[in-house]
Amino acid sequence: MTPRVVLVTGVGGYLGGHLAARLAANPAVHRVLGVDTVPPHPGVREAVRELARVEFVRADIRNPLIAKVITEAEVDTVVHAALTANPPGPTRRSAVKELNVLGAMQLLAACQRAPSVRALVVKSTAAVYGAGARHPAVLTEDTPPHGIAANGYAKDAVEVEDYVRGFARRRPDVAVTVLRLANLIGPDVDTVLTRYFALPVVPTVLGYDARIQLLHSADALAVLERAATRTAPGVFNAGADGVLMLSQAIRRAGRLAFPVPRAAIPTAGRFLRGARLVDFSEDHLRYLNHGRVLDTTRLRAEFGFTPRWTTRQAFDDYVHGSGLRPVISPGLIGGLERGLVGTR
Amino acid sequence: MREARVIPLDRSRRSPAAEAPDGPPVAPTPLRKDPAPTPPTGLRQAFEFARRRLTGEYQVDRFGFDPELTEALLLPPLRALYRRWFRVRVTGAENIPAEGGALVVSNHSGTLPLDALMTAVAVRDNRDRYLRMLGADLVFQVPLLGALARKSGQTLACNPDAEHLLRSGELVGVWPEGFKGIGKPFSARYKLQRFGRGGFVSAALRTGAPIVPCSIVGAEEIYPKIADLKPLARLLGLPYFPVTPFFPLLGPLGAIPLPSKWHIHFGEPIPTDTYEPRAEDDPMLVFTLTDQVRETIQQTLYKLLDQRTNPFFD
């Protein structure tokens, strides 16, 4: 089914904003409505303002106005991309939770009342699986969540997914797609992870080395666009091929790892938060301890999408594209090797 | 009187004209055997390895298995222990399939899981395959140990991981007795404990991978556990705190394993692909197969023990 009228939430973020612009560029799509409390993402502001392809509604999704917008515009596809760990607007944890969970509830309530809605796409996160020593190494969509901090972004995502399941039960005529995205990376996204690797000295947890799986922002956009334009109901993991070890990634970025004992992490985290550099939430710490790898068989076979970038390529693209100056350059190490071996 | 002739040190560059007048020259006696003008390839390889590691130019699989690191740093010390200390004798290695998924099931003993590590070396050196072992969650909770376990190709003992590895054609090793087996008192040596709940059998059935029973003789004697300090174990969060004749009496010295002579035997594979689909849903079949594997290992252990004359010498 090709959507005629699409509503995208969270256009203030990278994915929401770019997705709205992409859908607007699709001739089959009639209208694209973008909703957020903050202005659209800087990367797509042009498209919104000058081309007027995306109609921007500056509203909070917790506002009943959203229901009116959906019914009046006869929206048939809703893409909920507002769920986020670090929103562009408020940063207080309680406010973020409110936005994430209550926002989703309101949006779903509005969708349930709107007979025109035919498809719902929810951008969720791989963080719903949690991370820990007792987790299977490769997580399929059926792996239950486990070891999640009582209060955090991952918990928000789990709750939102619960409400989405409830919605799918009550509106069986709506095709509901939930995409659990692995950590995004790319030259022009700003996430907890991109800021983390941009630190010259990267704090790690002593004695642990996480397996990390990434997803290039271009692939994340492509997978969301595909979900919005074709009906493929279900829950799907979306992550790139291959795995990098955290230590390996730090070396590839030319960074220095600074192992901190597990007990000293909260102090280090407070320091980094205080310095407005990186946010170390409990969930993120567990992730850095144990890592997380998703099984993407269902994404390929059922959803019909294969990420174009592997984890390694995506990471290298981030390193080169965001102009990270390596603290330890590969050239230096290569030179040192040649010097020591005496090869000419 | 003839002028003293300069003998170039490098023989290859010596011009034939210079040696023509008085026949073949006598080569100077080398001071050292084998002088090396260029660094040996080993050194070059070491530097290359170091560069690859420092720039992150290596591959790991989804489970975090790092073959390069395993081969270069983790296996050599284990191999020394395997050859010199335990003098492991391996029989029946041909029973391990050369390719494709298979499940090696073995008895567990020795207070510390050295038997698992030695089996991994035996498989690597006799069949040129890596044994992907399934470990207890305790392993992955311990800093450093958990990371090393992942890098050497081990993963958590759970059905999703086991099936995933078997499906991708890996050789998986499992010790179903778990802590009950490895931490049993010396008096119960070579008596197999309960084989878990048969999770490994259902994993094999689901993937159709053959089960290779493996019997290890010798590991029971490395740390004869004569007592268990339960309160201390509880305090430290360990499944047991062993007391051996030398540990904790001699402190760290007591942690040196006794040099018993080992014998690892791989038995004939038990096929699991001959049952109808969804056979893993039949608990009776799973129990029967579990018992069959357990009995095979136990009988082989008795046979091997019968042949053994002294636990420490050949």
Nearest-angstrom CA–CA distance, B108 and B157: 14
User: Which residue of B44, B140, B143 is in closest CB contact with A262?
Assistant: B143
Residue B29 belongs to some domain of the structure: no
User: Which residue of B60, B137, B155 is in closest CB contact with A245?
Assistant: B60
What is the per-residue pLDDT across B105-140, written as a single tens digit (0 to 9) for each? 999 999 999 999 999 999 999 999 999 999 998 999
Q: Kindly identify which residue of chain A lies nearest to residue B45, measuring between CA atoms.
A: A341
What is the per-residue pLDDT across B254-283, written as a single tens digit (0 to 9) for each? 899 999 999 999 999 999 999 988 888 999
CB A130 within 8 A of CB A154: yes
pLDDT of B167 higher than 90: yes
Query: B91: closest CA among B191, B217, B259, B190?
Result: B217
- Judge residue A66's burial from the number of C-beta atoms within 10 Å of its C-beta, 0-12 exposed, 13-18 middle, 19 or more buried: buried
Residue B107 corresponds to which amino acid?
N
- For residue A118, give Cα distances in angstroms to A77, A185, A230, A232, A235: 6, 31, 11, 12, 17
8 Å CB contact of B146 and A295: no
Is B163 within 8 Å of chain A by CB? no
Cα pseudo-dihedral A149, A154, A157, A161, rounded to 10: -70
8 Å CB contact of A211 and B158: no
What is the per-residue pLDDT across A190-234, written as a single tens digit (0 to 9) for each? 888 888 898 888 888 899 999 999 999 999 999 999 999 998 999
Closest approach of A179 to chain B, Cα-based (Å): 20
Which residue segment(s) compose the domain that B204 sits in?
A: 99-222+257-307
pLDDT at position A246 is 95
Mean pLDDT within B202-208: 95
Closest approach of A252 to chain B, Cα-based (Å): 5
Residue B312 belongs to some domain of the structure: no
CB A326 within 8 A of CB A255: yes
CB A80 within 8 A of CB A107: yes
Residue B81 belongs to some domain of the structure: no
Cα pseudo-dihedral A125, A131, A134, A136, rounded to 10: 40
Nearest-angstrom CA–CA distance, A234 and A301: 12
Domain total in chain B: 1
pLDDT of B13 higher than 50: no
CA atoms within 13 A on the CB side of A328: 18
Nearest-angstrom CA–CA distance, B73 and B259: 23
What is the per-residue pLDDT across A49-92, written as a single tens digit (0 to 9) for each? 665 678 888 888 888 889 999 999 999 999 999 988 765 554 67
For residue A47, name the pLDDT band (cuts at 50, 70, 90): low
Q: Kindly identify which residue of chain B lies nearest to residue A255, measuring between CA atoms.
A: B55
Residue for token digits 């290695």?
Answer: B93
Residue B249 belongs to some domain of the structure: no
pLDDT at position B19 is 42
For residue B40, name the pLDDT band (cuts at 50, 70, 90): low
Q: Which residues of A touch B (CB under 8 A)?
A: 133-138, 140, 143, 205-209, 211, 213, 242-245, 247-252, 262, 290-291, 293, 295, 328, 330, 333-334, 337, 340-343
Mean pLDDT check: name the lowest of A327-331, B18-22, B44-48: B18-22
Residue B262 belongs to some domain of the structure: yes
User: Which residue of A133, A250, A262 is in closest CB contact with B137?
Assistant: A133
Mean pLDDT within B159-184: 95
Residue B82 belongs to some domain of the structure: no
Residue from B62, B137, B172 to probe the interface with A (highest A Cβ count within 10 Å): B62
- For residue A55, give Cα distances in angstroms to A17, A69, A313: 12, 11, 35
CB B279 within 8 A of CB B285: yes
Stretch 41-60 of chain B: residues touching chain A, C-beta under 8 Å: 43-44, 47-48, 50-51, 53-56, 58-60
pLDDT at position B43 is 83
ipTM, two decimals, is 0.87
Residue B114 belongs to some domain of the structure: yes
Closest approach of B24 to chain A, Cα-based (Å): 34
Mean pLDDT within A155-184: 95
Residue A128, both tokens: 């719903």
Q: Which of the residue ranges A39-43, A200-204, B66-70 has the most confident prediction, judged by mean pLDDT?
A: B66-70
pLDDT at position B229 is 93
pLDDT at position B20 is 43
8 Å CB contact of B160 and A140: yes
Residue B178 belongs to some domain of the structure: yes
Query: B171: closest CA among B218, B203, B208, B132?
Result: B132
For residues A275 and B215, the model is more confident at B215
Q: How many CB atoms lie within 10 A of CB B40?
A: 10
For residue B190, the SS3 value is coil
